[in-house]
Amino acid sequence: MTAEEEVKPLKIAIIGGGLVGAFAAVTLSRLPNVSVTAYEKSDKVREVGAAITLTEGGLVTLEQVFDLDELEKILYRTPNNGHITRRHWKTGEYLKEPHSKSPKYPKYNHAKAQRVLLLDFILKHVPEGTIKYGQEVKSVNVRQDGVAIHFANGNVTKADLVIAADGIYSKIRRQFTNDAIVYKGAVAYRNVFDDKIVEHIPGLPDDVTVWIGKGSAMFMTRLTPGKFNVAAHLRDPPEVAANLRWNKTTGDWGKKRLIEHFKDWDPLIGQIVEVMPESIAFPLERAPWLENLVVGDRIAFVGDAAHPTSGVYGAGANMGFDDVWALYRSLLETKYNLKKALFLFNETRAPFLKRVEKQIEIDQQIGAKYIGTAETDEEWKRRVEHRGLSAKWITDHSVDNEFEQVRDQNFLQLFVDE
């Protein structure tokens, strides 16, 4: 019996065609006997010129679906096996690295990619015609026999299963929760430009480097091919943050803001900021994460729609890829019994995500009660080094192991005691 004959046809609708929605479109299309359509509100998805980390966990997941040798062409690999180099904000001295073991296979070392190139890479693998652009979903309505999807243009369609991948401001999530998006208190200034612009500056780092300051940080990395990335996180008042958009450059104002902020920092930063082009800037925001990623055995939330926080240990999109992979395995394992599949999916992802959300809260407290209260620079440095923060339990998380544990522990309930 072929896989197609074993399972009933399943109609899947994905809402959103960003990094995670596009990955879902590739991955879920590989299931037998499915029809997959992704609805994206923009006419074309535009990723911003910025860098994205691919973590060990993320690369292991991407390898399930893509040829890593092909992906490798758009990745930047650092000389120090992907570790982040931490430096003192003012003196530029190297801070002690937290103990952090490299993965067994170098191909899983953390790598950097340009977001635009990563999205293009994923989209190249989506079966033609799967993503319908210019289709804004207004709401969904779960019924006994499926989900009705209502579009802003008045059209309605139906699917057996809806994957909500509509990002941090998810309309679908807000249909089922009363959460509000709040400003985290920091703005991200981001820039990707030709490395030729800064190549002449002595001491330009080849590693992913972060200068840690008191309440702000400057990240830099090279990118493939021939690009350089600068990303600063600065505490800006809410009224300033409210006027910034990720798809708009800051013009002269942003450059002046960066030059002024970094004037007393390691002089290398100032030299780079001085010559680089205009940045984009946008507020970092968050809303409470979903406790339950599933609605009515018909809707599954993935990516930022499920865990809405911008900037989570450089792992937000990677966690979204893992959501999709957990869903793929759950559907396959249960032969499209949606109640069982979404139970498996939720049990695989929700407890892990809960622990990550808790860690974000704890790290805020560590910042406020411990690092932020150091009275001297020497003591501040000691506390930063003591805290370390490798976040490896998050970035190296194996969604396959978690899925298999959940499946094995619920095997009787799912497959025997029916």
Ligand X SMILES: Cc1cc2nc3c(=O)[nH]c(=O)nc-3n(C[C@H](O)[C@H](O)[C@H](O)COP(=O)(O)OP(=O)(O)OC[C@H]3O[C@@H](n4cnc5c(N)ncnc54)[C@H](O)[C@@H]3O)c2cc1C
Q: Does the footprint of ligand X cover residue 103 (CB under 6 A)?
A: no
Residues 207 and 52: their CA atoms lie apart, in Å, by: 14
Least distance (Å) between residue 10 CB and ligand X: 21
Instruction: Mark the segment that binds ligand X (CB under 6 A) among 5-13, 39-47, 196-204, 291-299.
Output: 39-47
Least distance (Å) between residue 167 CB and ligand X: 3
Nearer Cβ to ligand X (278/404): 278
Cβ–Cβ < 8 Å for 317, 19: yes
Q: Does the footprint of ligand X cover residue 84 (CB under 6 A)?
A: no
401 burial class (0-12, 13-18, 19+ CB within 10 angstroms)? exposed
Nearer Cβ to ligand X (41/86): 41
Residues 342 and 346: their CA atoms lie apart, in Å, by: 6
Nearer Cβ to ligand X (82/316): 316
Q: Does the footprint of ligand X cover residue 41 (CB under 6 A)?
A: yes
Q: List the one residue out of 365, 395, 384 whose CA is nearest residue 87.
A: 384
Eight-state DSSP code of residue 132: E
Nearer Cβ to ligand X (7/287): 287
- Which region, left, alpha or beta, applies to residue 48 given φ > 0 means left and ψ of -120 to 50 means alpha? beta
One of 262, 316, 337, 344 touching ligand X (CB under 6 A): 316
Least distance (Å) between residue 2 CB and ligand X: 32
Q: Does the footprint of ligand X cover residue 210 (CB under 6 A)?
A: no
One of 7, 13, 14, 17 touching ligand X (CB under 6 A): 17
Residues 91 and 103: their CA atoms lie apart, in Å, by: 31
Q: Does the footprint of ligand X cover residue 18 (CB under 6 A)?
A: yes
Instruction: Mark the segment that binds ligand X (CB under 6 A) among 204-212, 313-321, 341-349, 396-404.
Output: 313-321
- Contacts with ligand X by CB under 6 A: the residue count is 34
One of 86, 110, 171, 286 touching ligand X (CB under 6 A): 171
Q: Does the footprint of ligand X cover residue 57 (CB under 6 A)?
A: no
Nearer Cβ to ligand X (91/139): 139
How many Å from the N-terminal Cα to the C-terminal Cα in the chain? 23
β-pair type (217-223, 208-212): antiparallel
Least distance (Å) between residue 289 CB and ligand X: 12
Distance of CA 253 to the CA centre of its chain: 28
Q: Does the footprint of ligand X cover residue 136 (CB under 6 A)?
A: yes
Instruction: Output the CA–CA distances (angstroms, integers) from residue 126 to 19, 131, 157, 325, 356, in the order listed.
Output: 12, 8, 21, 15, 30
Instruction: Mark the segment that binds ligand X (CB under 6 A) among 100-108, 269-277, 312-320, 375-383.
Output: 312-320
Q: Which amino acid is at 264?
A: D
What x-and-dash track marks residues 239-278 binding ligand X by CB under 6 A?
----------------------------------------
Residues 125 and 254: their CA atoms lie apart, in Å, by: 37
Distance of CA 273 to the CA centre of its chain: 26
Q: Does the footprint of ligand X cover residue 164 (CB under 6 A)?
A: no
Distance of CA 233 to the CA centre of its chain: 17
Within positions 291 to 310, which residues make up the interface with ligand X, using CB under 6 A?
Answer: 303-305, 310
One of 12, 13, 28, 52 touching ligand X (CB under 6 A): 52
Q: Does the footprint of ligand X cover residue 352 (CB under 6 A)?
A: no
One of 189, 314, 371, 414 touching ligand X (CB under 6 A): 314
Q: Which amino acid is at 215?
A: G
Least distance (Å) between residue 319 CB and ligand X: 7
Beta strand extents in 287-326 (DSSP E only): 294-295, 299-301
Instruction: Output the CA–CA distances (angstroms, integers) from residue 65 to 28, 58, 319, 330, in the order listed.
Output: 10, 11, 15, 16
For tokens 């999807």, the residue is 149
Cβ–Cβ < 8 Å for 212, 384: yes
- Residue 155, beta-bridge partner list: none
One of 56, 160, 166, 357 touching ligand X (CB under 6 A): 166
- Residues forming the site for ligand X (CB under 6 A): 15-21, 39-42, 45, 52-53, 136-137, 165-168, 171, 188, 284, 303-305, 310-311, 314-318, 320
